[in-house]
Structure 1
């Protein structure tokens, strides 16, 4: 089943985050999220699930020396990396924390952001309630999340495409439908939701898509879970590797106000 086209070793999670941020896709949607966040000098911004600090410098630049940026992540390795990267930025503080139970006082922040975080958390509604609690009245959060049910990969055997997407939504991503759900969930916890922006990147290069989707690794797991036979998986990957390639998935940028 192995092909030299696909990555066979799962990249380190922090390396993966940096790699995605450096792509044209990453720069584009992150720039759009920053625009929607509308950060002003002097404000306090919380980056929830900040990872290795990929976006902290841009936020620090936006708040200027008169503001503050707080990065929060549940992973100590990510926190250590983010602290190292921002060591010379006095306006940035990075803390270990749980998005479901933030160690922040009520009405602490003017702005908050989450980037591909809520798809993985245990309880997105509880996380949204916590974010609502720490935002000041009139504060804003911008969230970016994919809707994995929209994942489309072209293949002559459409049932194989459906099986792959079904495996991703059933087994790979904890909250696979969070992109479409965010406006409703945010409204239910007390936010107003003035802006929903769908972004649908289209991949024509299989190796570029593989660096984000892990096509062969995910297919192997789908075989083990019974979503593909070995023979079906071979046909699936052979076409992806050698035929014309097209994949797309819709990513939602949702701005909500407290």
Structure 2
């Protein structure tokens, strides 16, 4: 197990698949799909579907008479999503941007957008596109982290706090959007039905390093002069010694059209 700071980001599709396969990933995704209450024959939309991780589960819920639409703007992601769903009936993978969804207005019964809004340019504009795409009575599930709540246990608590501040201020475009989802959804015209906060916990250093970007983001913080090199390197090396703990808050909002 390496305790050397790294600067390379993991390949995006493999990163998403590994995160989804983790215990925390499986738990919140199952919760989201359950809360959406998808019925056979409905049309379900996955915005920012990535490599198609969730498309099979949606296809199972809508059944043979339903339709699942996955939208992503990354050609590499789309290729994997199409391959993953090639033997599934009623799955349509489309290239498109969250700000201009390739969806007929009022054609969707259920929709989800999972850990995408924190990266987009205009989250409310993206939610307005979802509002346009959905039918009256439709349910929409939104899931985003609140990176301001990222907690990494270390003897050097101040450096852990600096790491969280750097993540929030420099790494993620909309780092605290999780806490704002309900307000933003209402601004886009939705009615908030359910808000659930969960806390993914990481006890394995290697998994946390991969998912939370401990090494690569600390290296960026050092390069940007946010943390002194010796302090940052000692902090990261110390995380691999003994028991490890990290967590953050993940917010799920279910809203209706």
TM range (shorter): over 0.9
- Inter-partner Cα distance in structure 2 for 1:90 and 1:202: 36
2:59 corresponds to: 60
Give CA-to-partner distance per residue, 1:177-217, whole Å, 9 cap, x none. 11000000001111111101101022222122112112111
**Structure 1 regions of 5+ residues with no counterpart?**
none
Higher mean alpha-carbon deviation, 63-72 vs 102-111, is at 102-111
- Inter-partner Cα distance in structure 1 for 2:26 and 2:115: 14
Report the 3-state secondary structure (helix = DSSP H, G, I; strand = E; otherwise coil) of the residue aligned with 2:196.
Answer: strand
Given that 1:196 and 1:252 are in contact with CA atoms closer than 8 Å, whether structure 2 keeps it comes out as yes
Instruction: Give 1:14 shift.
Output: 0.3
Give CA-to-partner distance per residue, 1:140-173, whole Å, 9 cap, x none. 1111110000001122222211110111111111
Given that 2:3 and 2:237 are in contact with CA atoms closer than 8 Å, whether structure 1 keeps it comes out as no
1:133 corresponds to: 132
Report the 3-state secondary structure (helix = DSSP H, G, I; strand = E; otherwise coil) of the residue aligned with 2:136.
Answer: strand
RMSD: 1.3
Given that 2:5 and 2:219 are in contact with CA atoms closer than 8 Å, whether structure 1 keeps it comes out as no
* Cα gap change, 1:6 to 1:252, in 2 (>3 Å): farther
Given that 2:24 and 2:201 are in contact with CA atoms closer than 8 Å, whether structure 1 keeps it comes out as no
Instruction: Give 1:15 shift.
Output: 0.6
When the two structures are superposed, what TM-score results if normalisation uses the length of structure 2? 0.96
When the two structures are superposed, what TM-score results if normalisation uses the length of structure 1? 0.96
Instruction: Give 1:10 shift.
Output: 2.7
2:46 corresponds to: 47
- Inter-partner Cα distance in structure 1 for 2:232 and 2:18: 27
- Inter-partner Cα distance in structure 2 for 1:190 and 1:243: 49
**Structure 2 regions of 5+ residues with no counterpart?**
none
- Inter-partner Cα distance in structure 1 for 2:189 and 2:212: 34
4, 13, 24: which is aligned to 2:2? 4
Give CA-to-partner distance per residue, 1:70-104, whole Å, 9 cap, x none. 00001011111111111122300000001111121
Given that 2:94 and 2:102 are in contact with CA atoms closer than 8 Å, whether structure 1 keeps it comes out as no
- Inter-partner Cα distance in structure 1 for 2:5 and 2:204: 14
1:201 aligns with 2:200: yes
1:102 corresponds to: 101
2:75 corresponds to: 76
Report the 3-state secondary structure (helix = DSSP H, G, I; strand = E; otherwise coil) of the residue aligned with 1:160.
Answer: helix
List structure 1 segments (4+ residues) > 2 angstroms apart after TM superposition.
5-10
Count of aligned pairs: 256
1:88 corresponds to: 87
Report the 3-state secondary structure (helix = DSSP H, G, I; strand = E; otherwise coil) of the residue aligned with 2:141.
Answer: strand
